[in-house]
Chains A and B, each alone.
Chain A
């Protein structure tokens, strides 16, 4: 009974249902081949890594009551920068240089995050507009970096972050999970999570409680930028090229959706990283399922709409009460009014 009431129960059920569907449609759900995991499930997990990373940063931003639309553009820039530099390497397979280049790309993404954070926290621009600026201009910058063309690289260490395996698990997924664990530690083992939720709950009250709201706000945008940059690297490593035009296109919407599915409210305050993880994997699983069951492309969106509607209703306590709970004579007016 208490499990059913849990916020994440229904998203989890839908996720499991989607996985079960894939179990039947797929040749292999999960097997070991050449010493690593192979099959739909690893594919889904690997494929969800960029979205997971972006959604993770988005969760923190949303917890402070903000939003970050620029993640897609940051992904594009980070991938473009990395590929441009790797392409010019004498030996593209030199692990050290590739790692250095990845650090440079992530550094650039952190700076972009800082730019967003500054606009929001210091200049005081509404987050949606502040990050819209970078969303629009950032992709332009990425296109400029790549001259509008796709830049190919032949670097196996670089490709490994997306397609390699470590201890037979896809590295991309490991990176995403490492980021998740790190974020959880960072927010829950320190006081950061509490301060974030406080700033998201009420900036005024937080300020009067002595919280440096501005610093925290800047920080979450920086983190979001960095994670988006990492996601951009994985995205581009996956196709061994920088595609500045489509990298991260519209990913902000999916990321926000993942966060909301995970039970973090857009107005800020309480956030759930576990929820975001489920949300992101769910979205990836949904995308795979659509292809796997052969939904014709003209009906794809309708199919997704049905799932999202189901999800959004399952998120609603009121809906669950009305449908599954005891039937009441009249609708409950549930105003959350403090005494």
Chain B
């Protein structure tokens, strides 16, 4: 069976079944795969027929997919935009065709907000802020500079830019907190490890590591251990995402703090789809229920993590 594993190849005409076209960014990380799975599973559970398209990280593919959904006359379109800009034209086409659009996970910067009915997702800047705030709290009242290294996501990707910004803005309040090195780790474990190795080699003293996702943080932990240091103790580590592997490391004390960015948008999305289809107007901005985890919280939460 392919992917979602459902057998209904194309809308066999049962009028009451809602058809949802969903264009996913790609499959760039385990987080994203969990996200995809959540959407596919909850569509099935909600009895919604899902047309799923994977854009492999390319905006042009997403535009193509959305257009194709319009051609296929789906009932609702949802997508996680690869980038923030550049959706006006295709969204207008959807609007003209009378198909409501829901944004998930990431937002768009269209000035005309009537182009989509709702945005369901997290706020990356907010995530960066949460990470920064924890750090500020940790070092409140202490003196002496704190050397921070940052593992950024893929250069140019929206979460990377926003998580960096939110973090930087927040820690600016404490002049002792200084980002001494910041380099992209491409959101991957291997890059996270390699870059961290070099950070360790080229920076005399590192107090804190801020990684834009768990995977890079996990890679960095390997590097830190190989260098004979204790992650979480010698170097404090903050990451974003809270995937299972990250939570495990957190509960083991190798990570100090994780800001959650939940991929499990499926159920919420299906609710909104049904609401839209039955003529309701959902809220324009629906934030996913997200939290943050300390090491203690992780221990209790860990058994519940499925992804």
Contacts and interface: CB of A to CB of B under 8 A. Distances in A.
Nearest to B197: A43
A300 B155 contact: yes
Given A33-B228, A40-B198, A148-B33, A241 B28 contact: no
Interface string A270-307: 00000000000000000110111111111011000000
Contacts of A27: 200-204
A133 to B, nearest CB: 16
Contacts of A265: none
Given A149-B33, A239-B222, A292-B202, A47 B197 contact: yes
A150 interface: yes
Interface in B187-206: 187-191, 193-195, 197-204
Contacts of B194: 47, 287-288
Interface stretch (B66-74, B114-122, B124-132, B176-184): B176-184
A148 to B, nearest CB: 3
Q: Size class of A's contact patch?
A: 35 or more
A245 B183 contact: no
B190 A246 contact: yes
A297 B201 contact: no
A39 interface: yes
Interface residues of B, number: 39
Contact of B198 (A34, A149, A288, A300): A288
Contacts of A147: 33
Contacts of B193: 238-239
Given A26-B202, A27-B201, A150-B245, A291 B195 contact: yes
Among B36, B190, B228, B245, the most chain A Cβ lie within 10 Å of the Cβ of: B190
A281 to B, nearest CB: 14
Contacts, number: 102
B198 A291 contact: yes
B201 A40 contact: yes
A112 B202 CA distance: 40
A247 B189 CA distance: 9
A33 B184 CA distance: 29
A28 B197 CA distance: 12
Nearest to B190: A239
A143 interface: yes
A287 B184 CA distance: 11
B189 A150 contact: yes
Contacts of A246: 28, 186-191
A241 B189 contact: yes
A163 B307 CA distance: 28
Nearest to B202: A292
Interface string B49-81: 000000000000000000000000000000000
A58 B34 CA distance: 35
Nearest to A152: B245
A247 B190 contact: yes
Contacts of B245: 150, 152, 241
Among B152, B183, B198, the most chain A Cβ lie within 10 Å of the Cβ of: B198
B49 to A, nearest CB: 22
Contacts of A148: 27, 30, 33, 36-37
B217 to A, nearest CB: 12
B187 to A, nearest CB: 8
Contacts of B45: none
Contacts of B28: 245-246
A291 B183 contact: yes
Given A148-B27, A149-B33, A297-B183, A291 B190 contact: no
Interface in B10-49: 27-30, 33-34, 36-37
A202 interface: no
A22 B215 CA distance: 27
A284 to B, nearest CB: 9
Contact of A39 (B27, B195, B201): B201
Given A246-B188, A300-B184, A43 B201 contact: yes
Given A235-B190, A246-B190, A294 B27 contact: no
B159 interface: no
B155 A297 contact: yes
Contacts of B36: 148
A33 B226 CA distance: 11
Among B28, B30, B186, the most chain A Cβ lie within 10 Å of the Cβ of: B30
A25 interface: yes
A297 B184 contact: yes
Among A34, A150, A292, the most chain B Cβ lie within 10 Å of the Cβ of: A150
Given A148-B30, A239-B222, A297-B155, A292 B190 contact: no
B231 interface: no
14 contacts: A43-B197, A143-B33, A148-B33, A149-B33, A241-B189, A245-B30, A246-B189, A246-B191, A290-B183, A292-B198, A292-B201, A292-B202, A294-B181, A296-B182
Interface of A: 22, 25-28, 33-34, 39-40, 43, 47, 143, 147-150, 152, 163, 235, 238-241, 243, 245-247, 249, 287-288, 290-298, 300-301
Interface of B: 27-30, 33-34, 36-37, 152, 155, 181-184, 186-191, 193-195, 197-204, 215, 218-219, 222, 226, 228, 245, 307
Q: Which 5 interchain pairs have the tightest Cβ spacing? A: A148-B33, A246-B188, A291-B198, A292-B202, A239-B189
